[in-house]
């Protein structure tokens, strides 16, 4: 905090530092899209690039995007394999819902985006 005099009175001027840059806030909320459609124009990629743009570290944002995408592809594969092999309890056989295809499921993709962000 800085103090300065104006007309004999002490006025307190508070300098604000952005915790999350405004450019990043403007990208939110992230769109619901499946992992299979994430590309270089993905809003998550843009968010991470902007988050690390201060000090010219946007390449780290790119790294986080690629690392996160790879990690969630691996997780989607594991989820898919386990879900496809799971059997419902005998009493719930008629109530079992179909297994989503995680790579193309928009809700799974949205959850992955927010986890990475």
Per-residue pLDDT of 69-117, as tens digits, reads 999 999 999 999 999 999 888 888 888 888 999 999 999 999 999 999 9
The whole-number pLDDT of residue 3 equals 47
Over 90: is that where the pLDDT of 64 sits?
yes
Confidence of residue 10 (pLDDT cuts 50, 70, 90): low
Task: Indicate left, alpha or beta for 17 from its phi (over 0: left) and psi (-120 to 50: alpha).
Answer: beta
The whole-number pLDDT of residue 1 equals 45
- Please state the pTM of the whole predicted model: 0.77
Burial class (CB in 10 A: 0-12, 13-18, 19+), 58: middle
Q: Name the H helices within the chain.
A: 22-25, 43-51, 58-85, 106-116
Query: Encoding tokens for residue 35?
Result: 């992992």
């Amino acid at each position: 905090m800085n103090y300065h005099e104006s007309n004999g009175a002490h006025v307190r001027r508070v300098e604000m530092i952005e915790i999350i840059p405004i450019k990043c806030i403007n990208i939110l909320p992230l769109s619901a899209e499946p992992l299979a459609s994430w590309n270089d124009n993905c809003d998550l990629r843009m968010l991470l690039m902007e988050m690390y743009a201060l000090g010219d570290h946007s390449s780290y944002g790119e790294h986080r995007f690629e690392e996160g995408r790879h990690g969630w592809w691996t997780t989607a594969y594991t989820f898919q394999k386990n879900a496809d092999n799971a059997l419902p309890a005998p009493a719930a056989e008629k109530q079992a819902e179909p297994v989503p295809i995680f790579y193309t499921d928009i809700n799974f993709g949205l959850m992955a985006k927010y986890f990475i962000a």
